[in-house]
Structures are given as structure tokens and as C-alpha cells.
A and B are shown apart, each in its own frame.
Chain A
């Protein structure tokens, strides 16, 4: 459980703070401007990309073949920008993990793994891994919204606390999901091509 808490902590030095999960692009397009639109964005993200990622974290925690899971997650992530964002965060987490929790199982991960797989391997318990992953799927964008839009941090925190993160984590443990989130795919692709101001890596 402590590992899960450390990974979910925004102070964990795994590179997560430079990713907004599509929020920066959504804000730039005026799709997220205030607390209600942020709530809607986070809810949608949790139930699609969040559930997908959580399912893979749980599968990795159950000990399933990591190479295969990595390919399966690629197949479910049509946006190359989203794949790279997930792998960049996986690499960052792995770099930190090699120092904190050295283990032979880390070596069985692909070289630049998707982040949910790293979470699954490190946390070990499928539900806790899914919970960590689902929470990170919304906590990063929520923090980005505070930084980019100057929203009230107490209001944003209350939105995150009310999201059905535990419910999503419980659903994620059952089978590998295959959810699409075309809006997030499009936002990620538009973001990576954005000229001028771009504060986040995704």
C-alpha cells in the first residue's frame, strides 16, 4: 500500500508533472474553462482512458505477460502522442523505481514501458494498482487545470475527491478493457502539433 501512496503522490519524481492528459489542449480550445467543464472532462477521462489504464495496471499486477500487455495497450491507444505520453511517464516511473524498489521483475518490463504496466509491477496488488492508475489519470489533469486556468484548488480537489475512482478501479480488475476516447485522441494529436505556447508534454 505504501508503494501505491508514493506513486500517486504528486511529489513522486517520475515526470508526471509535465503531463496534462489533454487538459492543456482542451483549455486552449475553450473546452475546459471552469469547475463544471473540468468535472465533465475528468469524469469522461476517468471512465475511458482511466479505466483502460487501470485495467492494464491490474493485469500487470496479476502477473500477466508484460510484453504482450504492452502491445495490447498500444493496440488500444490509437494516438501516437498518447502512446508516447504513456511511455514517457512509464520510463520516468521506472527510472525512479529502479532506485527505490530494485527487483528482477522490473527487468522483465519492456525498455520504455507504458506507465500502467510499471504501476502494476510495482504495486503488486491488482486492485491497488488499478486504483493508483485510475487516480493518476485524473489527478494530473486536475493539477494542470489549477496551474493553467487559476481555478480554486479547493474546488478542484473536491471534484477529484467526488469522482468514482474506486468504482472504476473495481471494474478494471475483471478483464482487459478496450475503451475508446476519440476526443482525447484528437486533443493529444492537436496538442503535439501546436505551434507557440505549450507548457505541458501532453
Chain B
């Protein structure tokens, strides 16, 4: 296996490519956002993706089927029933996967690490990613931003997904967005619908600005 030529141990979280984590609760649209970013950025950047599905390789398979990225650029890791542990407390399996991708594709511009669906307290370790996006969705209830938690309050970008569903689930978008800004201070918030904008243009622009 290719992961024994890791980066300088003193430079623990930087291989060659910048890493962006995408986290958030189950069903909030992390994989759909990952696919959208692959579509939006895959032509101009050398991209790779690590998925951390809780149960199976479902997310990796979804990305492969969606045809948004060369399947060789997608790695799935098992998380031992603990998706938050694998992105926060013990990031070894994810680092191994990143190093395998960096070995296969030495000139990567960006690695996206998608966490398994978890709860509002799950955030990525700074040892694993440089920046992180936390994804919540309208259908999860408009009180979610107000509940806070490290994902909502500290992620570098908060994405509120599926805004097209707001009228159907009785979610008040104004409340959701103002709560989000109140909880996050200066940190950015993007509300989007991948049905209306399948390439997530605002998030893609934010991602490019981080590189």
C-alpha cells in the first residue's frame, strides 16, 4: 500500500494538497454537495475525494455512479461505527486514504473529505483538514442553526441546503439565516438549493478562494 511515505512528521497536517472537510447531519446533502463541487471544479482543478460513510461505501459508490470524478480519485474509509472519531479524535484512517490519493495523483490541487453523517457536535480535526464546511438542511428543521454546536458555530463555512423545500416543511428561511449569522458572528453562511443550482456556484467560489 502506498501510504508509507507520509509527509514530514513535523508538518503533520499538510501533505501537498489543501484539504477541505464537509461534515453535517445524516441526509443534509453532504454527498450531493461533494458531487456538485466535483462537477463545478473537476475541470479546472486536480481533485480527489475521501468518503466516510457510516455503513457502507454508499457515498463513494454514489459519486462513482454520478460520473463526476474518475473513480480512481475516490477513496472510502471505514469508521468502526464512529464517524466523528474518524474525523476528529483518531484521524489515522483518513490520513492513510489521503496519502494513498496523494501518492496516486502527486499534483492534487484539492482533497475533499466528506464525513459520515453525524450529529451537530461533530467537527473535523485541524490535523486532518485545512478548512471545513458544515452542511445542514431546511428539512431538518429551522431551529437547527439556533441549536448551535461546534459544527454550526465554528465551521469555516455553514451551508444551509435544500432551500427549495422550505415552503413544504414549514421552515422559515429568514429565521434560519438570521439565527445562523447570530450564532456564527463574521463566519460566512450560504443558503442554496442544488435543484436550482446543481453546481453549487457560491460554495464553489468560496472553495476556490481558500486555495
Residues of A participating in the B interface, judged by any CB pair closer than 8 Å: 11-20, 84, 87-88, 91-92, 95-96, 98-99, 102, 111-112, 144, 147-148, 196-201
Selected from A14, A87, A144, A147, the residue in CB contact (under 8 A) with B92 is A14
Q: Is the interface of B mostly helix, strand, loop or mixed?
A: loop
Q: Are B90 and A17 in contact (CB under 8 A)?
A: yes
Q: Are B3 and A199 in contact (CB under 8 A)?
A: no
10 examples of A-B residue contacts, CB within 8 angstroms? A11-B90, A15-B96, A16-B90, A91-B3, A92-B92, A92-B96, A99-B10, A147-B82, A196-B56, A199-B81
Verify if B209 is at the interface (C-beta below 8 Å from A): no
Chain B positions within 8 Å of A144 at CB level: 80-81
Q: How long is the Cα–Cα vector from A15 to B6 in the complex, in angstroms?
A: 15
Asked if A13 meets B96 with Cβ closer than 8 Å, knowing A91-B3, A95-B6, A197-B56, the reply is no
Chain B positions within 8 Å of A201 at CB level: 77-78, 80, 93
Q: Are A199 and B55 in contact (CB under 8 A)?
A: yes
Verify if B79 is at the interface (C-beta below 8 Å from A): yes
Q: How long is the Cα–Cα vector from A91 to B5 in the complex, in angstroms?
A: 10
Q: How long is the Cα–Cα vector from A139 to B182 in the complex, in angstroms?
A: 44
Q: Are A112 and B55 in contact (CB under 8 A)?
A: no
* Nearest A residue (CB) for B127: A13
Selected from B9, B56, B85, B91, the residue in CB contact (under 8 A) with A98 is B9
Chain B positions within 8 Å of A199 at CB level: 54-55, 78-81
Give B82-120 as 1s and 0s: 1 = Cβ < 8 Å from A's Cβ atoms: 100110011111011000000000000000000000000
Chain A positions within 8 Å of B56 at CB level: 196-198
Q: How long is the Cα–Cα vector from A199 to B86 in the complex, in angstroms?
A: 12
Q: How long is the Cα–Cα vector from A147 to B80 in the complex, in angstroms?
A: 8
Interface residues on B, range: 20 to 34
Q: How long is the Cα–Cα vector from A144 to B79 in the complex, in angstroms?
A: 11
Q: Are B55 and A111 in contact (CB under 8 A)?
A: no
Q: How long is the Cα–Cα vector from A177 to B12 in the complex, in angstroms?
A: 36
Q: Are B55 and A197 in contact (CB under 8 A)?
A: yes
* Nearest A residue (CB) for B82: A17
- Chain B residues numbered 4-47 whose CB sits less than 8 Å from any CB in chain A: 4-6, 9-10, 12
The residue in B1, B80, B90, B95 that gathers the most chain A C-beta atoms within 10 A of its C-beta is B80
User: What 16 additional pairs, Cβ within 8 angstroms, besides A16-B90, A17-B86?
Assistant: A13-B89, A13-B92, A17-B80, A17-B85, A18-B93, A88-B96, A91-B3, A112-B4, A196-B56, A197-B56, A199-B54, A199-B55, A200-B78, A200-B80, A201-B80, A201-B93
* Nearest A residue (CB) for B8: A98
The residue in B56, B77, B92 that gathers the most chain A C-beta atoms within 10 A of its C-beta is B92
The residue in B82, B86, B90 that gathers the most chain A C-beta atoms within 10 A of its C-beta is B90
Q: Are A84 and B1 in contact (CB under 8 A)?
A: yes
Chain B positions within 8 Å of A111 at CB level: 4-5
Q: How long is the Cα–Cα vector from A87 to B81 in the complex, in angstroms?
A: 21
Asked if A14 meets B80 with Cβ closer than 8 Å, knowing A88-B96, A99-B9, A199-B54, the reply is no
Closest 9 CB pairs of A and B: A15-B92, A111-B4, A92-B92, A98-B9, A18-B80, A112-B4, A13-B90, A147-B81, A201-B78
Q: Are A91 and B85 in contact (CB under 8 A)?
A: no
Q: Smallest Cβ distance from A8 to chain B, in angstroms?
A: 14
- Chain B residues numbered 110-158 whose CB sits less than 8 Å from any CB in chain A: none
Q: Are B90 and A14 in contact (CB under 8 A)?
A: yes
Selected from B9, B10, B55, B77, the residue in CB contact (under 8 A) with A18 is B77
Q: Smallest Cβ distance from A123 to chain B, in angstroms?
A: 19
Q: Smallest Cβ distance from B30 to chain A, in angstroms?
A: 18
* Nearest B residue (CB) for A90: B4
Q: How long is the Cα–Cα vector from A28 to B95 in the complex, in angstroms?
A: 28
Chain B positions within 8 Å of A95 at CB level: 6, 9, 92, 95
